[in-house]
Structure formats: structure tokens, C-alpha cells
């Protein structure tokens, strides 16, 4: 059996949503520290959320224009996901693995795939966090040239993630607005449906108690 597609539920804002994501079989949970986002967290709320995430579920801190010297949470999460003006020099100085997020373009894929300090590429729609998709076929056409793991994001839902996986064959998929009933409010049923759809695309039946693992 081929490697299962990893699942990241991003923009989690409550303990209930974190528990629902873990129970559904998510591999990673994203906590947003970008100002102006309806999913943005302060340090105290994020610290409480981290305590509710079970072992072996990866925690990802999502940033736009990270300033490492002034962020209290940078050492509390497992992985950093960057979407702003962070350049190669800043990334080289970080002590955590880095997922570089960016709107899809062949030029951006080539730039960040060549960065030795980037662990994975999160390829997004035109506006990150807006739930907008992009041409998955164009990304798939670049697959043979990409050396880093690809995390597919942008407009994914329980209804379309299966086809997206079959087209791109990414290392992981990332969902936020596609499993919400309102901006920043995750729906446990949609989270579970998303994880089931990913496993169906992988050819893996759901496991006991709704956990596809």
C-alpha cells in the first residue's frame, strides 16, 4: 500500500476542535498567529490549546511576517509555517522545521524548493486562508522537478479533496475554511468527513471509532 496522505487541520481555535481533529485522524493541527485573521490566537489561548493536543499529533505555528525575537510561542510548537516576507536568511536562522507557504506559481515553487532550510512546500490558492483553489493540474505538471514534500492547500473541502489528491498526489493536505461552519469555528462533522474522504482517496478504509489510522 502506498504512503497515506498526511492531514493538517489548520486554524484551530478551541480545545473541542483540536480534540475533534485528533479523533478524526489528523496528523497535524495548525495554530494561527497572524494578526487580522479570524483564526488568530493570542499566546495564552494558544498555550491552553497546546495542552489539549494529544502526543504524536504535530503542532504547527502559522505566521505571516514572523519576527522570531518577539514571538513567545515560537519555541512551543513543533513546526513553523511561514506565509509572509520571511526570506531565506531568516529561515536559515530558525531552530524549528519550516513549511514555506505561498500562492501557487511555478516561480515560487522553484524558489522555495531550492531553499535548503525549507522542509516542505505548502502550495496555496491566490489568497492564503481565503478558501480559494487553483489549477491543480499545473502543479501536478511540475511534480517530477519538485524535491521537497508538497502540502496542498487552498479551497479544499470534504467534497473535492479526493480529486485533488488523485491529481497532485501530495505528501499532505491542509484544510481550514473547508471544515468550518463560520470563519474560525470548526465543525467536528466536517473535520471527520474530510479525513474520511482523504482515506478513501488513498484507498484506506476508515478505522475504528472514526479514526482512519
By C-alpha distance, which of 108, 22, 23 is closest to 58? Answer: 22
CA distance 99 to 79: 7
Q: Which residues contact 17 (CB under 8 A, 6 or more apart)?
A: 9, 186, 188, 191
Residue 115 known to be catalytic = no
Residues for the chain: how many in total?
A: 213
CA distance 194 to 1: 21
CA distance 183 to 185: 6
Q: Name residues of the chain where pLDDT drops below 50.
A: 1, 207-213
Lookup: cell for 66: 514572523
By C-alpha distance, which of 49, 89, 46, 84 is closest to 66? Answer: 84
pLDDT given for residue 130 in this prediction: 65
The gap between the terminal CA atoms of the chain, to the nearest Å, is 14
Single out the catalytic residue among 27, 124, 174, 195. 124
CA distance 47 to 38: 18
By C-alpha distance, which of 18, 19, 24 is closest to 7? Answer: 24
CA distance 84 to 88: 12
**Domain residue limits, the chain:** 6-210
pLDDT given for residue 72 in this prediction: 84
What 69-78 contacts at long range (C-beta under 8 Å, 24+ apart), as own/partner pairs, is: 71/33, 72/43, 73/31, 73/33, 73/43, 73/46, 73/47, 76/46, 76/47, 76/50, 77/31, 77/50
Q: Where does 6-210 sit in CATH, by number?
A: 3.20.20.70
Single out the catalytic residue among 10, 27, 174, 195. 10
pLDDT given for residue 30 in this prediction: 97
pLDDT given for residue 204 in this prediction: 62
Task: State pLDDT tens for residues 85-108.
Answer: 999 999 999 999 999 999 999 999
Q: Which residues contact 93 (CB under 8 A, 6 or more apart)?
A: 68
Full-model pTM:
0.92
pLDDT given for residue 210 in this prediction: 34
pLDDT given for residue 213 in this prediction: 34
Q: What are the φ/ψ torsions at residue 70 (nearest 5 degrees)?
A: -120, 10
Amino acid at each position: 500500500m502506498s504512503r497515506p496522505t498526511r492531514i493538517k487541520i489548520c486554524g484551530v481555535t478551541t480545545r473541542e476542535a483540536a480534540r475533534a481533529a485528533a479523533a478524526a485522524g489528523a496528523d497535524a493541527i495548525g495554530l494561527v498567529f497572524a494578526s487580522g485573521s479570524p483564526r488568530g490566537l493570542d499566546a495564552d489561548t494558544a498555550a491552553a490549546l497546546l495542552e489539549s493536543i494529544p502526543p504524536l499529533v504535530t503542532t504547527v505555528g502559522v505566521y505571516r511576517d514572523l519576527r522570531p525575537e518577539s514571538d513567545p510561542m515560537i519555541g512551543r510548537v513543533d513546526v513553523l509555517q511561514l506565509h509572509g516576507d520571511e526570506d531565506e536568511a531568516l529561515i536559515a536562522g530558525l531552530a524549528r522545521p519550516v513549511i514555506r507557504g505561498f500562492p501557487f506559481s511555478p516561480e515560487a515553487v522553484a524558489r522555495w524548493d531550492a531553499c535548503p532550510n525549507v522542509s516542505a512546500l505548502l502550495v496555496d490558492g491566490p489568497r492564503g486562508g481565503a478558501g480559494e483553489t487553483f489549477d491543480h493540474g499545473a502543479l501536478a505538471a511540475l511534480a517530477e522537478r519538485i524535491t521537497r514534500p508538497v502540502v496542498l492547500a487552498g479551497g479544499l473541502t470534504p467534497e473535492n479533496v479526493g480529486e485533488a489528491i488523485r491529481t497532485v498526489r501530495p505528501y499532505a493536505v491542509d484544510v481550514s475554511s473547508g471544515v468550518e461552519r463560520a470563519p474560525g469555528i470548526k465543525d467536528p462533522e466536517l473535520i471527520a468527513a474530510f479525513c474520511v474522504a482523504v482515506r478513501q482517496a488513498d484507498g484506506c478504509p476508515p478505522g475504528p471509532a472514526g479514526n482512519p489510522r
